[in-house]
């Protein structure tokens, strides 16, 4: 197992286009998290899955954002009608049954640039 994998690593898109990112967690981890990090800030929580169920969403996750985790394996994060303010690093993380207690394993992120 090579850890948490995120694809693509970089994405440049025009304003108004839709984009989709993929995250493959560590295989034995049942919990998956999405965070967003903008320049000069720490990561900010977006959403959390336990297996296939999306159990928590941040108010940062506007209606243009949707996340799925079919079959409790990989996850996708889609942003519709992208805006320049969506430019950020999108980080995926996973953890086992201990959840936050043992910390997460983060992927390397997908850097989104909206032009």
Partner 1 sequence: DQQVKQNSPSLSVQEGRISILNCDYTNSMFDYFLWYKKYPAEGPTFLISISSIKDKNEDGRFTVFLNKSAKHLSLHIVPSQPGDSAVYFCAASVVGGNQFYFGTGTSLTVIP
Asked whether the CA dihedral 91, 100, 47, 5 is positive or negative, the reply is positive
Residue 12 forms beta bridges with which residues? 113
C-beta closer to partner 1: residue 14 or 40: 40
Q: Does 91 bind partner 1 (CB under 8 A)?
A: yes
Q: Please give the Cα distance from 115 to 112 (Å, whole number).
A: 10
How many residues of this chain interact with partner 1, rule: CB under 8 A?
26
Residues between 11 and 70 that touch partner 1 (CB under 8 A)? 31, 33, 40-45, 48, 55-56, 58
Q: Does 74 bind partner 1 (CB under 8 A)?
A: no
């Amino acid at each position: 197992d090579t850890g948490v994998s995120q694809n693509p690593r970089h994405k440049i898109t025009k304003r108004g286009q839709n984009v989709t990112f993929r995250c493959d967690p560590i295989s034995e981890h049942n919990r998956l998290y999405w965070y967003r990090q903008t320049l000069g800030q720490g990561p900010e929580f977006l959403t959390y899955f336990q297996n296939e169920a999306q159990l928590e969403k941040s108010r940062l996750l506007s209606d243009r954002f949707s996340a799925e985790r079919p079959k409790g394996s990989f996850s996708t994060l889609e942003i519709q009608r992208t805006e320049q303010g969506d430019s950020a690093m999108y980080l995926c993380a996973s953890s086992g049954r201990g959840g936050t207690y043992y910390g997460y394993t983060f992927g390397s992120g997908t850097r989104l640039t909206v032009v």
